[in-house]
Amino acid sequence: MQQPMPHQLMGYDRAITMFSPDGRLLQVEYAKKTVKQGSTTIGMVCSDGIVFIADKRIVDKFIIPESVEKVFEIDEHLGAAASGILSDARVLIERAQVKAQQHRVQFDSEIDSVSVVKEICNLMQICTQSGGLRPFGVSVILGGIDPDGEARLFETDPTGIFFQYKAAVIGEGEAEIEEILQKEYNEKITIEEGLAIAMGALNKLLEKRLNLDRVEAACIRKSDRKFTKLSREDIEKAMKRK
């Protein structure tokens, strides 16, 4: 008896607009696998704000670590971090930055985080239904302190879908770090405590490969609502605390 051919051999992954018989867009699923192979990125809502932590995965000793950016400022009160193909992320981040600035110019006020998330997810969704395009091979964790004073964090997906989270992780070791967050995270932790939890999780995941040059972190505090990159000393202090 002839065995059924895998979907890939039957050509269902050759076009983004073609559904497989069981209702899957295989190119989108490949994009999700790309994200899982990306370096680890974590975001947390804390009692006093939001913190982003990203592993920059510096693999070449000649690369200047400061030249690699994985945590981005969208606006003073909004930030984002990405995992996957960072060139794809840059396009989405620039789209988000333009959206935030247009809102400031038009309404003379700060934009809310969900409007920015919808803007980039609309672009990602278009790339799942248009011939000649490919899905964005990146996921973004985006959040900040909204005009109403609430801290909100969202995670996007290559399909263009998004969800709001209290804590989110994407990239390498997602399952392992999520298990650690399930045990150690709670809504009452401070930004410093959240950073310590994240650094402890990265230490368990990367072990001897972890060094401070490959870690980037930033926070937005409710007190001043300003995006701030955390220093090497802050990250080192968090590692010792854990």
pLDDT at 241 over 80: no
Q: What is the pLDDT of residue 240?
A: 80
Taking only the tens place, the pLDDT of each residue in 144-160 is 999 999 999 999 999 99
In a domain? residue 68: yes
In a domain? residue 207: yes
Taking only the tens place, the pLDDT of each residue in 133-147 is 999 999 999 999 999
Taking only the tens place, the pLDDT of each residue in 175-234 is 999 999 999 999 999 999 999 999 999 999 988 788 888 999 999 999 999 999 999 999
Question: Do the Cβ atoms of 56 and 70 come closer than 8 Å?
Answer: yes
Per-residue DSSP letters for 82-113?
Answer: EEE-HHHHHHHHHHHHHHHHHHHHHHSSPPPH
In a domain? residue 2: no
In a domain? residue 227: yes
Please report which confidence band the pLDDT of residue 8 belongs to, taking 50, 70 and 90 as the band edges. low
- Say whether pTM exceeds 0.85: yes
In a domain? residue 10: no
In a domain? residue 11: no
d(CA 11, CA 63): 40
Question: Do the Cβ atoms of 16 and 27 come closer than 8 Å?
Answer: yes
pLDDT at 166 over 90: yes
Domains held by the chain: number: 1
Q: Which domain holds residue 171?
A: 26-37+45-241
Residue 50's nearest CA partner among 177, 173, 189 is 189
In a domain? residue 233: yes
In a domain? residue 14: no
Mean pLDDT of 95-113: 97
Residue 72's nearest CA partner among 45, 91, 47 is 91
Residue 17's nearest CA partner among 97, 140, 130, 144 is 130
Q: What is the pLDDT of residue 11?
A: 80
Sign of the torsion formed by the C-alpha atoms of 134, 140, 146 and 152 = positive
Q: What is the CATH number of the domain that holds 234?
A: 3.60.20.10
Using H for helix, E for strand and C for coil, what is the string for 158-212? CCCCEEEECEEEECCCHHHHHHHHHHHCCCCCCHHHHHHHHHHHHHHHHHHHCCH
